[in-house]
Structure 1
Amino acid sequence: MSDIADAAKRLLLGRPVRSDRLDHTLLRKRIALPVFASDALSSVAYAPDEILLTLALAGLAATVVSPWVGLGVVVVMLTVIASYRQNVHAYPSGGGDYEVATANLGRTAGVSVASALLVDYVLTVAVSVSAGAQYAASAVPALRGHETAFAIGVVALLTLANLRGVRESGAAFALPVYLYMLGVGSVAVVGLVRYLAGDLPQAASAELEIVPQSGLEQGLTGLAGAFLILRAFASGSAALTGVEAISNGVPAFRKPKSRNAATTLALLGLISITFIMSILVLARATGVHYVEDPASQLLRDGVPVGEEYVQHPVIGQLAETVFAGYPVVFVSIAVVTGLILVLAANTAFNGFPVLGSILAKDGYLPRQLHTRGDRLAFSNGIITLALAAIVLIWAFDAQVTRLIQLYIVGVFVSFTLSQLGMVRHWTREMRTVTSPVTRRRMVRSRVINAVGLGMTGVVLVIVLVTKFTHGAWIAILAMGLVFVLMKAIRRHYDLVRAELALGDDPAAARALPSRVHALVLVSRLHKPTMRAIAYARASRPQVLEAVTVGVDPEDVAELRAQWEELDLPVALKVLDSPFREITRPILTYVRSIRRDSPRDLVVVYIPEYVVGHWWEQLLHNQSALRLKGRLLFTPGVVVASVPWQLASTEGQTGLEGTVQGTVPGAF
């Protein structure tokens, strides 16, 4: 069975990779861009949708301001990218915002950032895969109604791909990301050329009328209109998600790591800004309409379009309009857009495990997240992220509009605290630097980070105000729970470390027990029992006893007769058990020894069967397991399991050809 499982694992994940091959997993810029920037690039596919969807609540006239809202998002993006270029040079170890906040603002701020990032990574997977499922459903009608199952299946595939290793998953995902860039780029270029030439047609949805939401019939006038614009800006700021992933992934770049990461950040910013503005300008030029509930919000000749109307995402509508008469191009762009939305989750699959490993090393997450798997990936972190994302997708039915409200709170919390940390970093560094050139560079960096702090802080306030009642409170609650959990884990590790420390008198920890009192548990006289006795004698304890529990008088009499017949040089003690219990009499006897001689060490040898099939485990060793579980809580007691491999283990032990038997010369 284990051979089959191992073969299946090798088939799915590949052969184990030696630790000294870690350098070979590092990424070139052309692979790092799709690996770490796919999240931010994919935001182009749904951030414009969210801007138009929000503005549509005020009716058709409100959507004309969408490019200006997009311009506000672009200004923030430029500032954040410029700020993070400073981060990757100052903190290239991969801790990203967590390291910056911890080093400059303290542990509490660092854990706050970490909790925000962990929640954001989970939401990245859930939102990206759900958006991809919706695009896939628009291209393949058979998937409609099955988006949740499709999204969960995609998360499972992404998990499998990432368990094979960062470099392997990056190479596999690079081509789809570049195809997406080509697809959206072609829509932008061809659309703008046709617009300038005057032959750009109107979108199919342009002929429809948008019904404004109650209370917004007057458009964007008044306080309600201003609030709606801010809400649209907050929704569009989802385009900034993923920018921080590069600062967390600096160790995965080839040398020079910081410079390559900074270059990748600049490329990411240039491409994202170009795509966002092109989509919003073309959407306005072609009259694209995009609403939350098309069945009731869109009218044709004054009549709602009804449930049969299929609303394609904005990029899909633009592709269909720009390449009118070429349905193959529309379908291709829809497919690659859906694919990039799915692959955007890969950014989180690279960021979450690395951050989890750093947090585990610092004692804020379980130690298991710090270790690498067979393929040098942080396997436990990858699996943890996948499970959390699947729960979210299932809970929110893969609805992007519902998930997006939770999304960007965490990332702007980390943005703001990170920029505040960088301002303090440069201020502290400038106190020790005398070189005018270096000081000018630091002043420039501090100004960039200060501007970034101001902008991200303002956006964070806008996001909290406009999205709190729409679901952002769930993300805030999740961050709080993760924060408390990480603090509790760190407190536990600190308490354990203090409890296990040698203290002021290391010699006391080396003190030997007065005597060793060995007990061999005997149920019947057979080879496993003889082996346990032999091992106990080999340890040369001061006292050695064989102990059995007298449940059945006939069995006890037979055991005594066999014992005397073999003339074993070990005393056999029978413990009474009037209620036919096994565990309690042994525990009582062990505790009596400890009570009479507190400085003695009691070693209990338990013969155990090693079985080759899972179902055999149900038939053996149950009493031994219960007894071990109780003895482990008894101070001054050591439990020694003495294994005996049954024939069913043949072919699984790796010791085929050896002969089982007792220790030579034991008796």
Structure 2
Amino acid sequence: MVTKLKRFLIGRPMKSTELAEEKLTKLKALAVLSSDALSSVAYGTEQILLVLMAVGFSALWYSIPISLAVLGLLLVLILSYRQTIYAYPSGGGAYIVAKENLGVPFGLVAGGSLLVDYILTVAVSASAGTDAITSAFPSLHEDRVLIAVFMIAALTILNLRGITESATILAYPVYLFIFAILVLIGAGVFQFATGAVPFTGTTYGAAVNGISLFLLVKAFSSGCSALTGVEAVSNAIPNFKAPAEKNAARTLMMMGAILGVMFMGISLLAYWYGITPTAKETVVSQIAAATFGRGMMYYFIQAVTALILFLAANTAFSAFPLLAFMLAKDKFMPHMFMMRGDRLGFSNGIIVLGVFSAILIVIFHGDTENLIPLYAIGVFIPFTLSQAGMMKRWITLKPSGWAVPFLINTVGMLTTLTITLIFVVTKFSQIWMVFLFLPAVILAFRKINQHYRDIADELRIDIATEKPVVKGSVIVIPVAGVTKVVSSTIGYAKSLTDNVVAVYVGFDEESIKKMEAKWEQWNPGVRLIVLRSRYRSIIRPLMKFIETVEWKTADTDHVTVLIPQFITKKWWHNFLHNQTSWLIRAYLYTRRDVTIATFPYHLQK
């Protein structure tokens, strides 16, 4: 039943030789890896306006120069990450760049920040997508947490089916969203230019009482949330078809151009239309309603906006497992993140990402505004470290023509560092938990790495001198009576060694005599040891006996406790059997010199 459900949801297992078929073309990669960055158009401008509204409606004209500043930073980041792609074609982005050029500690900071950011990406995308739905259907506002968690589950299953299949499905809504936003911008500009929609914004350049540099800087940092996801292409270069680095660089440039046009277009329309953000309707929803009215085109734009916001999480589902794989390969994360699943994706990373992001949605009650600052700080730290790492690389290698790339990375580093500091100063009350969580993640990386190194030292052998030590073996079989399962267990044990003993724990003399008589009559060729339990405990007498056997056979024999166990025909039958065997295993699990083995006996009824 479980296997059939898994095959229905995920699909057939794929051979390792099919991995080459799972590589992405530029158009599919744009859909998968750019959905996060492109979707931020839906809330980037809104975040700027939310800060400016603290002063009043008259301050909204500042959204235009702030948007132009964000656009300039986008250009710097695109050029910077294009250089990273060619310098590190194996992928890994900020983690690899920082680790190789600045050292392991900086690499772990970048890697940990990105992992946290990808979890937040999924949470923010799901909550923002839910906001788009509830803007069109306000009656669903109270169910936003349930809607967001459901969509995360759907995305998790989609990604477990494989990157190529998810890219094929995602391509349609991503390109529909690009089409819808460009149509909205084109129609809005046309209507404004022809006077069909009158100018209702504030006078550009007008003096505003109460405005301050601190507030403008805060609005700029909020608008920079539109740049999250830019690094995803450089992280996932191995997912591209050959030549991977060229295809990745072209995809990055396409993404930057599309994002820049859409972000600036939405900002201009919001200013011209005098849009103010509200709790129950997004800025894009208001622009669409003002441009087309609440007709078919409005609902089409809202539908594809909601869909792209949900699917923006797919960028994280593509990048998180690959980054987790690289960290696991370097022994900073559990080895399970290196395993490919049935569909050749890193399934454990996909599942962990889905679970943690759903937990965040529940904790924050699906509130996008509270999640976005955490989301942005999580990505600007790796931005800064990546640019600093590339600067170090150019200074160290000094290849031909290195001055221009070095200048680009320097501008990128200084800009992203400034924004990171702005976030820390202006939004500390919202992002303080990052400074607790991130060190905890890095400490976990260190502890995992130390454990793996300790285990490697402990398990390492000298091939030239160390050989397996051959000892004798004694097998102890706990029995509760003379049954077929006991007979089968003894038969198996005697096929391994002649040194087999059966142990029976009795609570009263009558049951003990009955057992001894039946065993003597059966005579299986194995000695029966009877233990008397005054306090009706099976575990305590059995443990004392095993300690005795262990002491008598020290340095000469292996002690194996072979426990008979029923394998039931129906799942609920498990609750009716095997409690004693589970208890014995639990007590023996920590015994250093005792091997625990199970003999399964399959019941037919």
Category of TM-score, reference length = shorter chain: over 0.9
How far apart, CA to CA, are the structure 2 residues paired with 1:59 and 1:567?
95
Which residue number corresponds to residue 428 of structure 2? 468
Runs of 4+ residues deviating >6 angstroms: none
Q: Does 1:397 align with 2:365?
A: yes
How far apart, CA to CA, are the structure 2 residues paired with 1:95 and 1:487?
19
2:260 aligns with one of 273, 280, 300? 273
Which residue number corresponds to residue 91 of structure 2? 94
Which residue number corresponds to residue 566 of structure 1? 522
Which residue number corresponds to residue 53 of structure 2? 56
Look up the equivalent residue of 1:590 and give its one-letter code. I
How far apart, CA to CA, are the structure 2 residues paired with 1:632 and 1:152?
38
Q: Does 1:550 align with 2:506?
A: yes
How far apart, CA to CA, are the structure 2 residues paired with 1:229 and 1:485?
38
TM-superposed deviation, 1:384: 1.2
Q: Map of 1:19-168 to 2, 5 A cutoff?
A: 19-168=16-165
TM-superposed deviation, 1:562: 2.4
Q: Does 1:582 align with 2:538?
A: yes
What number of residue pairs does the alignment pair up?
A: 601
How far apart, CA to CA, are the structure 1 residues paired with 2:523 and 2:268?
97
Give the SS at the match of 1:363.
coil
TM-superposed deviation, 1:500: 2.4
- Structure 2 contact 474–497 (Cα < 8 Å) conserved: no
Which residue number corresponds to residue 225 of structure 2? 238
Cα offsets for 1:5-39 (capped at 9, x unmatched):
22122112111112211111111111110100000
- Structure 2 contact 59–208 (Cα < 8 Å) conserved: no
Q: Does 1:367 align with 2:297?
A: no
Which residue number corresponds to residue 336 of structure 1? 304
Unaligned runs of 5+ in 2: none
- Please say which of residues 124-133 and 544-553 is displaced more in the overlay: 544-553
How far apart, CA to CA, are the structure 2 residues paired with 1:398 and 1:642?
49
Which residue number corresponds to residue 284 of structure 2? 315
TM-superposed deviation, 1:417: 0.7
How far apart, CA to CA, are the structure 2 residues paired with 1:361 and 1:613?
40
Which residue number corresponds to residue 412 of structure 1? 380
TM-superposed deviation, 1:574: 1.2
- Structure 2 contact 58–208 (Cα < 8 Å) conserved: no
Give the SS at the match of 1:647.
coil
TM-superposed deviation, 1:376: 1.6
Look up the equivalent residue of 1:275 and give its one-letter code. M
How far apart, CA to CA, are the structure 2 residues paired with 1:428 and 1:485?
31
1:482 aligns with one of 408, 418, 441? 441
Which residue number corresponds to residue 303 of structure 1? none
- Structure 1 contact 62–219 (Cα < 8 Å) conserved: no
TM-superposed deviation, 1:218: 1.9
Look up the equivalent residue of 1:456 and give its one-letter code. T
Give the SS at the match of 2:54.
helix
TM-superposed deviation, 1:625: 1.5
- Structure 1 contact 31–170 (Cα < 8 Å) conserved: yes
1:218 aligns with one of 203, 209, 213? 209
Which residue number corresponds to residue 443 of structure 1? 403
Which residue number corresponds to residue 599 of structure 2? 642
How far apart, CA to CA, are the structure 2 residues paired with 1:506 and 1:499?
17
- Structure 2 contact 64–268 (Cα < 8 Å) conserved: yes
Look up the equivalent residue of 1:538 and give its one-letter code. S
Superposition TM-score, scaled by structure 1 size: 0.86
- Structure 1 contact 61–219 (Cα < 8 Å) conserved: no
TM-superposed deviation, 1:572: 1.6
Q: Does 1:384 align with 2:352?
A: yes
Q: Does 1:174 align with 2:132?
A: no
Give the SS at the match of 2:260.
helix
TM-superposed deviation, 1:558: 2.3
- Please say which of residues 165-174 and 472-481 is displaced more in the overlay: 472-481
Q: Does 1:264 align with 2:241?
A: no
Superposition TM-score, scaled by structure 2 size: 0.95
Look up the equivalent residue of 2:589 and give its one-letter code. L
Give the SS at the match of 2:40.
helix
Identity of aligned residues (%): 38
- Structure 1 contact 353–381 (Cα < 8 Å) conserved: yes
TM-superposed deviation, 1:199: 3.7
Give the SS at the match of 1:531.
helix
Which residue number corresponds to residue 491 of structure 2? 534
Which residue number corresponds to residue 271 of structure 2? 284
- Structure 1 contact 407–475 (Cα < 8 Å) conserved: no
- Structure 2 contact 13–343 (Cα < 8 Å) conserved: yes
- Please say which of residues 75-84 and 160-169 is displaced more in the overlay: 160-169
Which residue number corresponds to residue 610 of structure 1? 567
Which residue number corresponds to residue 415 of structure 2? 455
TM-superposed deviation, 1:499: 2.5
Look up the equivalent residue of 1:148 and give its one-letter code. V
- Structure 2 contact 508–532 (Cα < 8 Å) conserved: no
Look up the equivalent residue of 1:488 and give its one-letter code. K
Summarize the Cα distance change of 1:640–1:393 in structure 2 as closer, same or farther, 3 Å threshold. closer
TM-superposed deviation, 1:346: 1.1
Look up the equivalent residue of 2:7 and give its one-letter code. R
Cα offsets for 1:219-257 (capped at 9, x unmatched):
31xxxx110000000000001100111111111111111
Q: Does 1:426 align with 2:394?
A: yes
Which residue number corresponds to residue 658 of structure 1? none
Which residue number corresponds to residue 651 of structure 1? none
TM-superposed deviation, 1:217: 8.0
Cα offsets for 1:486-537 (capped at 9, x unmatched):
22222222222222222x5874562222x32222222211222122222222
Give the SS at the match of 2:312.
helix
TM-superposed deviation, 1:385: 1.2
- Structure 2 contact 505–533 (Cα < 8 Å) conserved: yes
- Structure 1 contact 522–529 (Cα < 8 Å) conserved: yes
Root-mean-square deviation over aligned CA pairs? 2.1
Look up the equivalent residue of 2:271 and give its one-letter code. R
- Structure 1 contact 520–546 (Cα < 8 Å) conserved: yes
Which residue number corresponds to residue 324 of structure 2? 356
How far apart, CA to CA, are the structure 2 residues paired with 1:494 and 1:281?
56
2:470 aligns with one of 494, 505, 512? 512
How far apart, CA to CA, are the structure 2 residues paired with 1:174 and 1:568?
68
How far apart, CA to CA, are the structure 2 residues paired with 1:596 and 1:85?
69
How far apart, CA to CA, are the structure 2 residues paired with 1:642 and 1:145?
53
TM-superposed deviation, 1:263: 0.5
Cα offsets for 1:620-654 (capped at 9, x unmatched):
11111211222232222222211211104xxxxxx
TM-superposed deviation, 1:67: 0.8
- Structure 1 contact 409–476 (Cα < 8 Å) conserved: no
Which residue number corresponds to residue 498 of structure 1? 457
How far apart, CA to CA, are the structure 1 residues paired with 2:373 and 2:558?
60
Give the SS at the match of 2:537.
coil
How far apart, CA to CA, are the structure 1 residues paired with 2:565 and 2:126?
48
Give the SS at the match of 2:442.
helix
1:593 aligns with one of 549, 556, 561? 549
How far apart, CA to CA, are the structure 2 residues paired with 1:241 and 1:623?
54
- Structure 1 contact 201–321 (Cα < 8 Å) conserved: no
Unaligned runs of 5+ in 1: 210-215, 294-310, 431-437, 649-667
How far apart, CA to CA, are the structure 2 residues paired with 1:338 and 1:567?
74
